[in-house]
Each structure stands twice: as C-alpha cells, then as structure tokens.
C-alpha cells in the first residue's frame, strides 16, 4: 500500500501569518491527493482534491500544490478558524491511505 507521511506533526503559526504543510507519498500518485481539515469533535471536511483543486466554497487563502510524491498545503493569512488538524490522503489507488495528520496551532 502507499504510505503517506506528513510533516511536521505540529506547526505553530501566528494569526495572519502563512502556514505550509507537507505530505509525501511512498510512490508516485500523480496529482491524486486530497487535503482534509478536522476540528475537535467534528467530521473531516474536504479542502483540496487533485492536489490543487479547491472544494466548493473554500476561501482562496487555501492552496494546494505538488505532484508525484511531494505535496504542499499552504494557508495564507491564518484566521482563528483555521487552527485544526489537517490530513492528506492519496486517491490514486486502493487501499486509500491517509497521512498521520498535522496539528496547526496558534503561536
């Protein structure tokens, strides 16, 4: 199965600043990568699919990039509601696999 590795495990960033989250696949997944946001006690929410396509209604401050094995989620101008756990998931093959998550916290 494809192993997804996220870094860092925890990221501390100040309000208004930019956060950069990384995700690496153990083999090429083309652009078949999704990013999800999860807040405590809530279900995950789709942010990005196809590595860079924003979900409907997602603010433009969220952007995704990358292809092959290296991917990045960038959140510009961090707002209080952005502090959460972020998971990447490959949607290139079954079994679908997730990264272990990056917790984005307020600095």
Partner 1 sequence: EVQLLESGGGLAQPGGSLRLSCAASGFSFKNFAMTWVRQAPGKGLEWVSIISGGGAASSYGDSVKGRFTISRDNSKNMLYLQMDSLRAEDTAIYYCAKEASYYSRSAFIDSWGQGVQVTVSS
Chain contacts with partner 1 (rule: CB under 8 A) = 1, 32, 34, 36, 42-46, 49-50, 55, 87, 89, 91-101
For residues 2 and 65, the answer to whether their CB atoms sit within 8 Å is no
C-alpha to C-alpha distance for 8 and 30, rounded to whole angstroms: 22
C-alpha to C-alpha distance for 18 and 69, rounded to whole angstroms: 23
**Looking at beta carbons only, is 22 or 92 nearer to partner 1?**
92
**Looking at beta carbons only, is 13 or 92 nearer to partner 1?**
92
Q: Smallest distance, Å, CB 16 to partner 1?
A: 29
């Amino acid at each position: 199965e494809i192993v997804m590795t996220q870094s860092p495990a925890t990221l501390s960033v100040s309000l208004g600043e930019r956060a950069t989250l990384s995700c690496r696949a153990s083999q090429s997944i083309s652009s078949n990568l999704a990013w999800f946001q999860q807040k405590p006690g809530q279900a995950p929410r789709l942010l990005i699919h196809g590595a860079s396509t924003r979900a409907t209604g997602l603010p433009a401050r969220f952007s995704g990039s990358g292809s092959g094995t290296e991917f990045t989620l960038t959140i510009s101008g961090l707002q209080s509601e952005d502090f959460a756990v972020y998971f990447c998931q490959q949607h290139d093959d079954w079994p679908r696999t997730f990264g272990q998550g990056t917790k984005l916290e307020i600095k």
